[in-house]
Amino acid sequence: MQRRATIIQVAQRAGVSFKTVSNVINHTGNMRPATRARVVKAMDELGYKVNLSARSLRKGGTRLIGVAIFDFSQPFSPLLLDQIIRIADERGYGVIISTYGFKANGIEDIIDQMDRVAVDGWVFFSDRPLHDRGVILEQQYPMVLTGDYLSYGKTDSVTMPNVEAVHEVTSRLISLGCKRIGLIGAPSGMTAGDITGQGLCRYTEGTRELRVRGYVTAMQEAGLPVDLSIVVAAESWTNMGGMRATVRMLDQAPAPDAIVCLNDAMAIGAMSELRRRRLSIPEDIQVVGFDNISEGEYAFPSLTTIDPDIEDYARAAVDMLIERIHGYDGVPRSYVTDFSILDRASTRALSGAGPSPEAGLRPDRHEATSPRGVGTHFGPDQAEDKRVRRGIPKGTTIMADYHVQYEKDRDVWSVKRAGASRATRTYPTQAEATKAAKAYADKSGGGEVNVHDKEGNRIRDKRTIGKKDPRSTKG
């Protein structure tokens, strides 16, 4: 990628001093019209653009951050933006918003131009893969990449546990006796080849791909076939898209036992079509969504959903961006949120279902009221057998153990929750990662923090102090 022209290059092209170019840019100083015209011509020839973001930083910052997101066609967008605006306000920052949905290449069409906007840094939400291993992310202004696409270690990033979350909810439907589980929101043109051999497991990015991978993996682990007649794409991830996808599903195959929808908007649309066909929810068909948008709570029936903790998602993005704005220049970090499943009326008591025999990608969860007072995290039933086997008294809260490990290819230290497929966050030093892991474990009620050296050998087994964990000791 061609790098942005600098003021020094303009000065060299025009045969003038750095100060003269600065005077032209700022409309200051006295010079002959011919000199000014020569500088302007050099700027045009080199494609020089004034970096308003850098100028603002030199003057102490604007106390503004930018957020770029695809559009507002899905409820997820305003949900995320509301959280970012609220959290930024807590930090003393305002927010400006840019949409790029009309751009052919998504954020790649705007990233290279955003330093012209007078903000201190940007949060970008990526809705598609980046070309050239993310070279476009190599900018001189602070940024954080959110979404479900790779940042290639070019910048800080925040994402969700897409595979694990859909895997767990599918496993729980199976444990309730569901054999034929449909899915709405799959990639267009999904074939049998995508679910055999390597199949979807080769995908490491993409919201659709990762969530379908969780579904397929759960079905395969339970020994159940994936029926492509009830695995359908959606023309859009909206209420209308979910409704039309349900029409196609039910017109070409018998109704399934349950439907996993890859976002809440599609799930609400699917339930509308099921009711139109006089199918009872959850007696005839159970329905699950993803995102925990407010509309799901007030749908009829209220929607069981995967809650990816959008508040934590937004907080991580804003905090990492502000750290960069304030001068942090360490290696790029990554953060993966946790998730919970809010058990509402569109399913038959998922929270009372025991784990599938193959379950275990996620740690045990404790019973807790959701932020809106509706639904529960999966809890205490699913964990009881494991607690008894480990000699832990009934009622003890054990959330998660964490591992601190070195990632040689990126030269960073990662904190990984036991059972999770991806690191929660990365840090430049072992000490910082260990401190963070202890904080995570203690916040969740107590657990072990296992620290490994650069060769992967465990060098320390530190039990944190959990209020309800009698196993905890001062390490």
| Enclosing H/E stretch for 459 | strand 458-463
CATH number, span 7-50: 1.10.260.40
Among 3.30.70.141, 3.40.50.2300, 3.30.1370.60, 3.40.50.800, name the CATH number for the domain at 56-160+313-325: 3.40.50.2300
Q: How far apart are CA 70 and CA 105, in angstroms?
A: 11
Q: How far apart are CA 75 and CA 72, in angstroms?
A: 7
Backbone angles phi, psi at 35, to 5 degrees: -65, -45
Q: How far apart are CA 287 and CA 108, in angstroms?
A: 36
446 vs 328, higher pLDDT: 328
- pLDDT in the model for residue 429: 84
Backbone angles phi, psi at 403, to 5 degrees: -120, 135
* CATH topology identical between 56-160+313-325 and 162-308+341-378: yes
- Taking residues 101-117, what's their average pLDDT? 83
- pLDDT in the model for residue 447: 67
- Taking residues 154-176, what's their average pLDDT? 96
Q: How far apart are CA 247 and CA 55, in angstroms?
A: 54
**Residue 327: pLDDT band by 50, 70, 90 thresholds?**
confident
Q: How far apart are CA 229 and CA 129, in angstroms?
A: 28
Helix axes 76-90, 310-325, angle to 10 degrees: 50
**Residue 3: pLDDT band by 50, 70, 90 thresholds?**
low
In the chain, the percentage of residues whose pLDDT exceeds 90 is: 50
Lowest-pLDDT range of 35-49, 154-168, 212-226: 35-49
Three-state DSSP state, 404: strand
Considering 129-138, 191-200, 391-400, 406-415, the range whose residues carry the highest mean pLDDT is: 129-138
Please determine, for residue 82, whether its predicted confidence score (pLDDT) is greater than 90.
yes
> 108 near 133, Cβ under 8 Å?
no
Q: How far apart are CA 403 and CA 452, in angstroms?
A: 8
Which CATH class name applies to 162-308+341-378?
alpha beta
Q: How many Cβ atoms from other residues are within 10 Å of residue 357's Cβ? A: 12
Pairing of strands 143-147, 64-69: unpaired
Q: How far apart are CA 54 and CA 351, in angstroms?
A: 51
Considering 109-113, 144-148, 191-195, 399-403, the range whose residues carry the highest mean pLDDT is: 144-148
pTM: 0.67
Three-state DSSP state, 57: helix
- Taking residues 90-118, what's their average pLDDT? 87
Please determine, for residue 88, whether its predicted confidence score (pLDDT) is greater than 50.
yes
Please determine, for residue 367, whether its predicted confidence score (pLDDT) is greater than 60.
no
Please determine, for residue 83, whether its predicted confidence score (pLDDT) is greater than 90.
yes
Task: Please give the distance of CA 224 from its chain centroid, rounded to a whole number.
Answer: 29
Please determine, for residue 362, whether its predicted confidence score (pLDDT) is greater than 50.
no
Q: Taking CA 162 as the corner, what is the angle to CA 384 and CA 311, rounded to the nearest 5 degrees?
A: 85
> 415 near 437, Cβ under 8 Å?
yes
Strand stretches in 225-347, DSSP E: 231-232, 258-261, 286-290, 304-307, 334-336, 340-342
Cβ-based neighbours of 163, under 8 Å, separated by 6 or more: 210, 211, 213, 214, 217, 361, 421
> 145 near 151, Cβ under 8 Å?
yes
Sign of CA dihedral 378, 380, 385, 388: positive
- pLDDT in the model for residue 395: 39
362 vs 85, higher pLDDT: 85
Structural domain spans, the chain = 7-50, 56-160+313-325, 162-308+341-378, 390-463
Backbone angles phi, psi at 222, to 5 degrees: -85, 0
> 324 near 331, Cβ under 8 Å?
no
Residue 397 is encoded by which pair of tokens? 């809260």
Q: Which amino acid is at 137?
A: L
364 vs 57, higher pLDDT: 57
Lowest-pLDDT range of 21-30, 88-97, 354-363: 354-363
- pLDDT in the model for residue 420: 57
The CA–CA distances, whole Å, from 211 to 66, 109, 124, 249 equal: 28, 27, 21, 19
Bridge partners, residue 335, by sequence = 158, 425
